Chains A and B, each alone.
Chain A
Amino acid sequence: MTITTSAIIATDLLKKYGSLKAVNGVSFTVGKGSIFGLLGPNGAGKTTTIRIMTGLTKSDSGSVSILGHDIKTDMIEAKKKIGIVPEASNIYEEMTAEQNLIFAAELYGVPSKERKKRAVELLTDFELAERSHDLVVGFSRGMKRRLTIACGMVHRPEVLFLDEPTTGLDVQSALALREQIRKLNKEGTTILLTTHYLEEADQLCDTIAMINRGKIVALDKPENLKASVTGSRVIELSFSGQVTEADLASIKDVIEVHRAGDKLRLIVGDAEDIIGEISDFARSRKLNITTIHTLKPSLEDAFLKITGLNPEDATKDKEPPKPRRNDG
């Protein structure tokens, strides 16, 4: 093992399924003690990248080093250092919450005296203490999710992979989990997460990689990514009548138009008189401007611009995962 300041080094990863390159030349480095976000639409290659990094899928070429251990040649040692929370909950429903945690601790070699103590701590942290001796089969989806996350943390991994950690959680549980992630990170755990919630990535991550069609299309700090949006201004507005995106796109200096609920979001150039131009547009259509706000570009604006997606595609990507078939 070599001494390194990087927790994860992914180099030129390639994974093909037939002729499809699911991961195509992905390289990045995650510093020790940082939170790294991997963002991208469905099928972009996020989960395949995580699976390669955690040894669940073998890449066709390229390498992954986890704290100096190569995931292909030194897999068991690398796996000892990592915790994995997959997108779909994968706990044993025929066992109790505590039995699930103790079994996870056993697999990762947690000393026998520590197992029960850590299980109790995590059950308390994730508000499952009252149900610790109940079979998981009777748990709600949110409770199963929380227990899955707790199982990924029971051996106190140095590097934690979280695939869509807050999907399926209620607002309160999601907030509690984000706090837990921050706490773990403060204690020195390196975290790599994928999320559909761009706001979440913005709040948590030190660095974000945007991945699309198997390739990294942007890799930077969230603030730098937001600043990269051309024009650097966003106007969110609504009218008293019907207006289409195409209508607004015809206004001079409007670069992009997206619909956001009953509002329209314009990415505009640096033109000083853009508000006047919008007012002229409304007057010419005999419409009133109901609301208007000037905003800084969000990570979502950067994401849409960089990936070239339209908001409808991004919304499709926010569907919760389908439950797994259970024949048991």
Chain B
Amino acid sequence: MSVKEGLTKALYIARKDMRVYYLKAPNFTYGLLMPVALYLAFSAAGNLNPGTLISGLVSLVVLFGSTSIEAVAVVMEKTNGTLERLLAAPVSCFDILFGKALAGFMLGPMTAVVVLVPVTIISNTSVANPLAVFVAIAVSSFTFAALGILVSVYAKWIPEAQMYSNFLRFPMAFLGGAFIPVETMPSLLQIISRLLPLTYSIEAMKEGMANTSVTGTYLLDISILVFFSIIIMIVSTKMLEKRLS
């Protein structure tokens, strides 16, 4: 099967997933309401500058939004028996999961814009490089969607998938620099934070909001997020292929 054929089928799967899963309740509760509520509670108690606040909030919305849809996307197909239909079709396991990740990837920027636009207007904050911020949102969105896929391929039931997702999301939210700047953390926690994709997502967004030109830190952050995406997608595909044997 050619790359074009595989990509075309992945897009059909993404469109189908958007139709089937976008309006599911967990996408609103976990994807939008929870990160906003969490952030408002912590920002009220802390003394964060608007740039840090907005980049942290947007990254959290993208993290929760993209992982929420993807954590249920594969596991729901398992419980409904529809995953077998995809596996029986002439589509590779990678293209199936890539299509699913695309659906989560497209949800991320939508929810991020819903949060970003009103927050920047209310806080009277300017975005120095909107394109760089958008690229950071898009790349983060794919990375987090891939992370949701990994959880979903592993889990057997939806509650199990949500449990694993939260197990990943909440430590990331606290250690990724959304509430507490990474530089102020103890050195051991700083090392751990450097292993988390959210850290790079927040950092890239901060860079895009503060600098009109693309910085080296921004490029490194984006590269690391792409690297995370590739590794997670490969591991998820291997796990799905193993399921067939």
B124 at the interface (CB under 8 A from A): no
A103 touches B16 (CB 8 A): yes
B227 at the interface (CB under 8 A from A): no
B88 touches A84 (CB 8 A): yes
Of the candidate stretches B76-84, B110-118, B130-138, the one touching chain A is B76-84
Residues of B near any A CB (own CB < 8 A): 1, 5, 9, 12-13, 16, 19-20, 24, 72, 76, 79-82, 84-92, 157-158, 244-245
Instruction: Select which of B79, B81, B90, B157 is within 8 A of A107 by beta carbon.
Output: B90
Chain A interface residue number, banded: 20 to 34
Encode contact with B along A65-82: 1 for CB under 8 Å, 0 otherwise. 000000000001101100
Of the candidate stretches A52-60, A117-125, A204-212, A263-271, the one touching chain B is A52-60
A324 touches B16 (CB 8 A): no
A99 at the interface (CB under 8 A from B): yes
A43 at the interface (CB under 8 A from B): no
A140 at the interface (CB under 8 A from B): no
Instruction: Select which of B76, B88, B158 is within 8 A of A54 by beta carbon.
Output: B88
Knowing A58-B244, A92-B20, A107-B12 are in contact, say whether A86-B89 is a contact too (CB < 8 A).
no
28 A-B pairs within 8 Å (CB atoms) are namely A54-B88, A55-B87, A56-B244, A57-B244, A76-B1, A76-B90, A76-B92, A79-B88, A79-B89, A79-B90, A80-B90, A86-B81, A86-B88, A90-B81, A90-B85, A91-B85, A92-B20, A95-B16, A103-B16, A107-B9, A107-B12, A107-B13, A324-B79, A324-B81, A326-B79, A327-B158, A328-B79, A328-B158
Residues of A within 8 A of B19 (CB): 94-95, 99
Assembly CA distance A54 to B5 (angstroms): 21
Distance in Å: Cβ of A156 to nearest Cβ of chain B: 14
Assembly CA distance A72 to B3 (angstroms): 20
B89 touches A92 (CB 8 A): no
A-B contacts at CB below 8 angstroms, number = 81
A241 at the interface (CB under 8 A from B): no
Which residue in chain A gives the minimum CB-CB distance to B161? A327
Distance in Å: Cβ of B172 to nearest Cβ of chain A: 25
Assembly CA distance A94 to B86 (angstroms): 16
A106 at the interface (CB under 8 A from B): yes
Assembly CA distance A57 to B79 (angstroms): 17
Residues of B within 8 A of A109 (CB): 5, 9, 90
Known: A90-B85, A326-B80. 15 other contacts (CB 8 A): A57-B244, A57-B245, A79-B88, A88-B81, A90-B81, A93-B80, A94-B19, A94-B20, A99-B19, A324-B79, A327-B76, A327-B157, A328-B72, A328-B79, A328-B80
Residues of B within 8 A of A108 (CB): 89-90
Assembly CA distance A54 to B80 (angstroms): 19
Which residue in chain A gives the minimum CB-CB distance to B96? A107
Residues of A within 8 A of B76 (CB): 327-328
A113 at the interface (CB under 8 A from B): no
Distance in Å: Cβ of A312 to nearest Cβ of chain B: 29
Assembly CA distance A91 to B92 (angstroms): 20
Residues of B within 8 A of A316 (CB): none
Assembly CA distance A58 to B24 (angstroms): 34
A86 touches B244 (CB 8 A): no
Which residue in chain A gives the minimum CB-CB distance to B13? A107
B24 touches A56 (CB 8 A): no
Assembly CA distance A184 to B86 (angstroms): 24
